[in-house]
Amino acid sequence: MGVTFSLLRLLAWRRLKEEPFRLALTLVGVALGVAVFIAVKMANETSTRAFENSLVAISGKTQLEVSAGGLGVDENLILKLRAMRELKRAAPVIQQHVWIRGAGGSGARWRRGAASQGSAVLALGLDLLGDNDFRGYEFENKYAREEILSRIADPQGLFIARGVADALRVGVGDFVEVEAARRMRFRVRGVLKPEGMAKSMDGRLIIMDIGVAQEVFERFGRLDRIDLILEDGGEIESIREKIQKFLPPGAIVERPARRGRDVEKMLASFQLNLTVLSVIALLVGCFLIYNTMSASVLRRRGEIATLRSLGVTSKGIVSLYGAEALCIGLAGSCLGVAMGVFMAQGALSFISQTIRNLYAFLEVRHVLFGPRELLWGFGVGLGVSLVSGIFPAIAASRQSPRQGIVERQGKVEVRPAAIAALVSGALLIACLAYWLNLQALAGGTPWPGYLSAAAVILATALFSLPVVLCGSAIVRRTLGGALSAWLAAHGLGRHPHRNAVTLSSLAIAVAMLVSLIIMIESFRATVEVWTQQTLRADFYAAPASRFIKGSRASVSEDALKIIGGVSGVAAVDGFRAVRLPWRGARITLAGGDFRIVAERGRLLFIDGDSKETLTRARTRGEAVVTETFANLYGVKKGDYLRLPAPGGEVPVRVAGVYYDYTTEGGFVVVDRAFLKKHWRDDRLSSLAIYLTENARSEDVRKSLENVLDPTMVLISNAGLKKRVSSIFDQTFAITYALEFIAVLVALLGVATSLSSNILERVHEIGALRAMGLNRKGITTAIMGEAAILGALSVLAGLASGVCLAAILIFVVNKLSFGWTIQYIFAWKGMAAYLLVVVLASLAASWLPARAAARIPIREALSEE
């Protein structure tokens, strides 16, 4: 050990000091890989944890909860439950999302028709007097008991958590306005201490009395949930079963943690994708270390030989080089962890925004960062550097004491047998990848798809050496006339192994880039076609709080009549969506006016005509389901679904399956009349408004805004499409960001690899210079090498990216989210990106090339 360290200090450290450029690039590359990995990990964990924590915190000591999806339960049920022997407490809960803003001052006007109306917060309606056993909350100010009671009793008062107080800059005694189904004005009667429930969702929480909440949300006589605490000593599962039997149809009783499971499942799929992407940067960083280490081993052949002849064992050499790799890993991890913490903050804001857009209301501001994350960062950094440093270290130890002197001028030989083995191995793995996809599709789980993607990446790596050799041979043959290109191709052939590693890392990064571009652009095109075909109404109206994801806001059916009476309006389709417990999960049951949709709208059915299917569904009381729903639950056209309703189970036949690209986890849609009849719900979630042919849409908009309740938002067809596409862009922004970092790390690889090449070719460069090749000639030749390397990587990456995209589109996405996406290859955009990659690799070569051109010739020619 001691010997290793003193050798390390004497040899490695001094060498590294001589090559600060290469060392710096390697460190930055490793650091970026580690940073991206832990940033994504931290952001993912923080958001998941925030979601789970808020769930737990808001449930407090609740052991079981009764709910009935979006329709809620009758408030009288609570009395019946309280009568049960096994239950100690039962508390009513209304839980919704609302907009809130300060009501004092000048900025207090609501923005008419805007989707965002101040701060989105979670609103809890509780029985404030009886809730103490469930959720503890304390006020920031100390109040006497009577004082608290009087504050609670105020029907015009509410309590806010610290986060809301800060966001709105309001305090006790100030007025706020809350908007849900109605807009109401409240006085802040207390600010909660940021602990427990009041700490979750970054303190974006308000609490009001249950009666007031029923009014704000127009849920008269109904509750979203009833929370239960059992008598001591009861066995939860058996009591749960007993309560379940006792409940009316459609209502379920379950443990609180289960409520978030559907969302958590979707979050997990979304986060897995990000994790996989972040691993790519790390993998590319791996190649970087491998390259640097093997270059340093190659360059120090003489030194190794000397050490060996001085009696250092081969084990000693392994530990010497292993220790050097570990040092790089350690330094890279330090830098990476520091960078990762910053990146995590950025990633978190992207990820939480996407979660808010697509999945659920989530407020989280600060990345959770503790010793565990630190350990992960270092563990990953050291592990990666050890794994990628060990092979060069072993190679170094295998070298015989003599070899260093004998091989001095040797070119690294690649035997044809090795190439044949690589090619056939790569082909075999490609076949395996194909087989894995078939397995995934047959089994219905995306996991083999991920494995298959990994196999494609491995095959790409294996192909890289043959690609380097072929590529340099082809350039040598075809561009022999251009001296620089010819020299460049020779340069590449000089160290085929190292260049192959560089090529494979850049090719893998490019492959991911290509596959993401194809996937995202295909997805975008598919969604565009879909919105074009299915969003056919001229205007859409919905309660503003509907724009908070997970909101259950609704409006009264009267809106239909009011809007229908506006001149220029031809038809109004009232749409209602409610969550229903079904098969242990929650699904969305929707009701639409099938007559209007059949006539004016359109759904893209997998098979069958839109109008025909919808008409049939309306007249026979059948349902249509989204493709996502069909895939998720294995439902086909013609199947019967048994849906829970207040009057008992309702069997519904599936009349057709249609394409849909929302993230709701699938819809079952019936005619709204049918929904009204069986589920006894007459409220509306949104409305689609069709205008008469010669109506002027600006005029109609004005008249609509005059008659609509101010809590409603009106969005034009174009506006909605724009919103869809901007959410789309936001969602994939982080994907692109991660991918660009991977490409960046790979480009650092190009720079280090070229500078290693140059260091080993100093004599050749010297000889060329002595023959009269000027500095520009050297620069051009080396940049030419980068260009060839870049172009070969792009070609290899393109080929494997096309395959990866197919896996992502047809297997992973299909099985994770249930979407059918058209595979679209957009040549133009792709060509531009790839050109940028080639140019970037040229740019990466500029510094090494310049350094090579500046080597004094006499030094390049001298032997030591």
Partner 1 sequence: MAHPLVELKEVSKTYAAGDMRIHALRDVSFQAEQGEFITVSGPSGSGKSTFLHLMGAVDAPTSGEVFLGGLEISRLSDEGLSEIRRKEVGFIHQFFHLMPTMTVYENVALPLLLQGRKRAEIKEMAENALARVGLSNRMRSFPRQLSGGEMQRVAVARAIIHKPRLILADEPTGNLDSGNSQNVLELVAELHKEDGFTVVMATHDQMPLRYATRRVGITDGRLEEGC
257, 770, 835, 839: residue in contact with partner 1 (rule CB under 8 A)? 770
Cβ-based nearer residue to partner 1, 371 or 481: 481
Which 8-state DSSP code applies to residue 186?
A: E
The rounded distance, in Å, linking the Cα atoms of 822 and 568 is: 37
Cβ-based nearer residue to partner 1, 746 or 773: 773
CA 118 to chain centre: 26
276 binds partner 1 (CB under 8 A): no
Half-sphere exposure of 724 (CA within 13 A, CB side): 23
Mark the segment that binds partner 1 (CB under 8 A) among 193-201, 361-369, 765-773, 809-817: 765-773
Q: Are 508 and 797 in contact (CB under 8 A)?
A: yes
Q: Are 172 and 190 in contact (CB under 8 A)?
A: yes
350, 486, 605, 658: residue in contact with partner 1 (rule CB under 8 A)? 486
Q: Closest distance between partner 1 and the C-beta of residue 778, in Å?
A: 10
Cβ-based nearer residue to partner 1, 215 or 407: 407
Q: Are 250 and 69 in contact (CB under 8 A)?
A: yes
The rounded distance, in Å, linking the Cα atoms of 126 and 137 is: 12
Q: Closest distance between partner 1 and the C-beta of residue 767, in Å?
A: 4
Neighbours of 628 (CB within 10 A): 22
Strands 87-102 and 225-230: antiparallel
Mark the segment that binds partner 1 (CB under 8 A) among 239-247, 250-258, 751-759, 852-860: 852-860
Mark the segment that binds partner 1 (CB under 8 A) among 86-94, 575-583, 712-720, 764-772: 764-772
Closest CA to 75 of 209, 180, 182, 214: 214
82 binds partner 1 (CB under 8 A): no
Cβ-based nearer residue to partner 1, 246 or 846: 846
772 binds partner 1 (CB under 8 A): yes
Mark the segment that binds partner 1 (CB under 8 A) among 118-126, 275-283, 448-456, 759-767: 759-767
103, 272, 737, 767: residue in contact with partner 1 (rule CB under 8 A)? 767
856 binds partner 1 (CB under 8 A): yes
Helix, strand, or coil here: 689? Answer: strand
The residue length of the chain stands at 864
Cβ-based nearer residue to partner 1, 300 or 761: 761
Q: Are 201 and 65 in contact (CB under 8 A)?
A: no
Mark the segment that binds partner 1 (CB under 8 A) among 88-96, 100-108, 712-720, 761-769: 761-769
199, 219, 498, 769: residue in contact with partner 1 (rule CB under 8 A)? 769
Cβ-based nearer residue to partner 1, 723 or 763: 763
Half-sphere exposure of 520 (CA within 13 A, CB side): 21
477 binds partner 1 (CB under 8 A): no
Mark the segment that binds partner 1 (CB under 8 A) among 187-195, 310-318, 763-771, 838-846: 763-771
309 binds partner 1 (CB under 8 A): no
Q: Could you tell me the sign of the dihedral formed by the alpha carbons of 290, 295, 298, 302, in that order? A: negative
The rounded distance, in Å, linking the Cα atoms of 864 and 859 is: 8
Cβ-based nearer residue to partner 1, 715 or 788: 788
Q: Closest distance between partner 1 and the C-beta of residue 779, in Å?
A: 11
Ramachandran angles phi, psi of 24, nearest 5°: -60, -45
Q: Closest distance between partner 1 and the C-beta of residue 419, in Å?
A: 17
Closest CA to 22 of 764, 551, 838, 759: 759
Angle at 573 between CA 708 and CA 548, to 5 degrees: 60
The rounded distance, in Å, linking the Cα atoms of 61 and 477 is: 77
Q: Closest distance between partner 1 and the C-beta of residue 495, in Å?
A: 10
Q: Closest distance between partner 1 and the C-beta of residue 857, in Å?
A: 4
Cβ-based nearer residue to partner 1, 494 or 677: 494
Window 488-517: residues binding partner 1 (CB under 8 A): 490-491, 493-494
The rounded distance, in Å, linking the Cα atoms of 243 and 664 is: 29
Distance separating the N- and C-terminal Cα atoms of the chain: 30
Q: Closest distance between partner 1 and the C-beta of residue 489, in Å?
A: 9
239, 298, 768, 798: residue in contact with partner 1 (rule CB under 8 A)? 768
Q: Could you tell me the sign of the dihedral formed by the alpha carbons of 837, 843, 847, 853, in that order? A: positive
The rounded distance, in Å, linking the Cα atoms of 335 and 535 is: 49
310 binds partner 1 (CB under 8 A): no
Cβ-based nearer residue to partner 1, 20 or 410: 410
Cβ-based nearer residue to partner 1, 108 or 470: 470
764, 823, 824, 851: residue in contact with partner 1 (rule CB under 8 A)? 764
Question: What is the per-residue DSSP string for 46-109?
Answer: HHHHHHHHHHHHHHTT--EEEEBTBT-EETTHHHHHHT-TTEEEEEEEEEEEEEEEE-SSSTT-
Ramachandran angles phi, psi of 435, nearest 5°: -60, -40
680: left (phi over 0), alpha (psi -120 to 50) or beta: left
Q: With CB under 8 A as the rule, give the number of residues binding partner 1.
A: 30
760 binds partner 1 (CB under 8 A): no
The rounded distance, in Å, linking the Cα atoms of 507 and 800 is: 8
Closest CA to 256 of 116, 411, 95, 481: 95
Q: Closest distance between partner 1 and the C-beta of residue 769, in Å?
A: 7
Cβ-based nearer residue to partner 1, 334 or 483: 483
Q: Closest distance between partner 1 and the C-beta of residue 751, in Å?
A: 22
Cβ-based nearer residue to partner 1, 489 or 794: 489
Binding mask 410-449 for partner 1 (x = CB under 8 A): xx--------------------------------------
DSSP run (H or E) holding 101: strand 87-102
Window 354-413: residues binding partner 1 (CB under 8 A): 409-411
607 binds partner 1 (CB under 8 A): no
83 binds partner 1 (CB under 8 A): no
109, 771, 827, 828: residue in contact with partner 1 (rule CB under 8 A)? 771
Two tokens, residue 739:
């991918």
The rounded distance, in Å, linking the Cα atoms of 479 and 606 is: 52
Residue located via tokens 């099985």: 815
Q: Closest distance between partner 1 and the C-beta of residue 486, in Å?
A: 8
Q: Closest distance between partner 1 and the C-beta of residue 336, in Å?
A: 36
Q: Closest distance between partner 1 and the C-beta of residue 768, in Å?
A: 8
Helix, strand, or coil here: 643? Answer: strand
Q: Closest distance between partner 1 and the C-beta of residue 496, in Å?
A: 10
Q: Closest distance between partner 1 and the C-beta of residue 459, in Å?
A: 27
Cβ-based nearer residue to partner 1, 412 or 839: 412
Q: Are 201 and 163 in contact (CB under 8 A)?
A: yes
Window 774-813: residues binding partner 1 (CB under 8 A): 774-777
Q: Are 568 and 695 in contact (CB under 8 A)?
A: yes
Cβ-based nearer residue to partner 1, 718 or 857: 857
773, 781, 798, 821: residue in contact with partner 1 (rule CB under 8 A)? 773
The rounded distance, in Å, linking the Cα atoms of 105 and 157 is: 19
The rounded distance, in Å, linking the Cα atoms of 586 and 644 is: 11
Residue 355 burial by CB count (10 A; 0-12/13-18/19+): exposed, middle or buried?
Answer: buried
Q: What CA dihedral angle connects 847, 848, 849 and 850, to 10 degrees?
A: 50
258 binds partner 1 (CB under 8 A): no
Q: Closest distance between partner 1 and the C-beta of residue 350, in Å?
A: 47
Q: Which residues bind partner 1 (CB under 8 A)?
A: 409-411, 481, 483, 486, 490-491, 493-494, 763-764, 766-777, 856-858, 861-863
